[in-house]
A and B are shown apart, each in its own frame.
Chain A
Amino acid sequence: MKFKCPECDGEIETKEVIEGEILTCADCGAELEVVKNAKGNFDLKVAESEGEDWGE
Chain B
Amino acid sequence: MVQTLSLLYDRIRVEEKEIINAAQKKGVELRPVDAKELHLTITDFSRDEGFGDIAIERCVSHFRGIYITSILENKGVTVINPFSVASLCGDKLLCSMKLARAGIPTPKTVVAFTKEEAMKALEEMGYPAVIKPVFGSWGRLIAPLKDRETAQALLEDREEMGNPLYQIFYIQEMIERPPRDIRTVVVGDQIAASIYRYSAPDDWRTNIARGGRAEICNLTEDLREVILKAAEVVGTGVLGVDAMETKDGIVVHEVNSTVEFKGAMSVSEADIPGMIIDYALQRVKK
How many residues belonging to B are interface residues under a CB distance threshold of 8 Å? 30
> B25-43: which have CB < 8 Å to A?
32, 34, 36
User: Within the complex, which residue of A20, A51, A53 is in contact with B34, where a contact is CB–CB below 8 Å?
Assistant: A20
Residues of A within 8 A of B237 (CB): none
Given A33-B11, A48-B10, A56-B138: 18 more A-B contacts, CB < 8 Å: A18-B12, A19-B34, A20-B10, A21-B12, A21-B17, A22-B12, A22-B13, A34-B12, A52-B135, A52-B136, A53-B63, A53-B137, A54-B61, A55-B137, A55-B209, A56-B240, A56-B256, A56-B257
CA distance A44 to B20 in the complex (A): 21
> A22-56: which have CB < 8 Å to B?
22, 33-34, 47-48, 51-56
CA distance A25 to B257 in the complex (A): 30
CB proximity of B181 to chain A, nearest CB, Å = 14
Known: A55-B136, A55-B209. A48 touches B62 (CB 8 A): no
Residues of B within 8 A of A56 (CB): 137-138, 240, 256-260
Q: What are 10 A-B pairs with beta-carbon distances under 8 A?
A: A18-B12, A20-B9, A20-B10, A20-B32, A21-B12, A21-B17, A48-B36, A55-B137, A56-B137, A56-B257
Known: A18-B20, A20-B32. A55 touches B62 (CB 8 A): yes
List residues of chain B with CB under 8 Å of any chain A CB.
9-13, 16-17, 20, 32, 34, 36, 60-64, 90, 135-138, 140, 163, 209, 240, 256-260
List residues of chain A with CB under 8 Å of any chain B CB.
18-22, 33-34, 47-48, 51-56
Residues of B within 8 A of A22 (CB): 11-13
In contact, B12 and A47 (Cβ under 8 angstroms): no
CA distance A21 to B18 in the complex (A): 12
CA distance A31 to B163 in the complex (A): 26
Residues of A within 8 A of B90 (CB): 53
Residues of B within 8 A of A47 (CB): 11
In contact, A19 and B32 (Cβ under 8 angstroms): yes
- Which residue on B lies nearest to A20, using beta carbons? B12
